[in-house]
Every structure is written in C-alpha cells, then in structure tokens.
Amino acid sequence: MYDGGKIITGLIIGIGLLMAPFFYNAGKAAKAPEPELTAKAKEAKQCVMEKAYMTSSHFSLLDDWRNTVVRDGERYYTAKSGKVFYKSLQMTCLDCHSNKSKFCDQCHDYVGVDPYCWDCHIEPKEKK
C-alpha cells in the first residue's frame, strides 16, 4: 500500500471525528423525567385507571374518550372503583393535573412526541 501510514492516520482521525459526539456524550444520558403530581392529584390517590396503565397507555384512553364523546355522545366514564368521570381532557384530566409543563410536556419532550391536543384544547394557566 502506498502512503499506508497517511491513509490509516486519516481514517483514524476521520472515524474519530465521526464518533466524537458519542464519546463526548457518553454516560451523560438524560434521565427520564418523572411526572410531578399536584397536591390535588396526590390527594385523589387513584386516577381513572391504575398508574401503570396511565403511564403506558394514557393516549389510548384519551383517544377512546375523544371518539366516544364526539362520535357517540357518551360523555361519562365509570372507573373500576365505581367513580364516574366527565370525559374531558380540559375539564377533568387537567383539573387535577393542572401542572401541564411538569406533568405532560416534560415527558413528551423527552420522548420527542408532539401531541397536537393543545392546538385546540385550552391548557390551564399555571402558577409560576
């Protein structure tokens, strides 16, 4: 190989540059944020479903709610505990979880999703 030394050095430098961001950020992975509960949400103890389901599939529930409310006119949801909820993101969910930035946005930003709920639905005014 002609100029083998130069080529290999060049390759090492090139690959090194390409990998630099990985080395630079190694071990600095941002921790998944924990949704913060408001005093009102803590007091209620139980959401409309168990915590595990709400964490993993709240969007399925919300999707189901919006379809049944808008299309079928079924506006009330009976939880397993027998408690009846008015199916409304704006009026029910965000009534307890009024800290949208710490409860919704933080996690959504982390996982890089951008739900368009708030294009129309009005977010609660948060106390700074």
Q: Return residues touching another protein (CB under 8 A).
A: 66, 70-71, 73, 75, 88, 90-91, 116, 119-122
Q: How far is the CB of 125 from another protein (least distance, A)?
A: 9
Specify the residue, 52 or 120, whose C-beta has the smaller distance to another protein: 120
Where on the phi/psi map is residue 36: left (φ > 0), alpha (ψ -120 to 50), or beta? beta
- Specify which residues 77 forms β-bridges with: 85
Specify the residue, 107 or 117, whose C-beta has the smaller distance to another protein: 117
14 is written with which tokens? 């090139």
- Specify which residues 86 forms β-bridges with: 76
Amino acid residing at 8? I
Specify the residue, 10 or 115, whose C-beta has the smaller distance to another protein: 115
Q: How far is the CB of 33 from another protein (least distance, A)?
A: 27
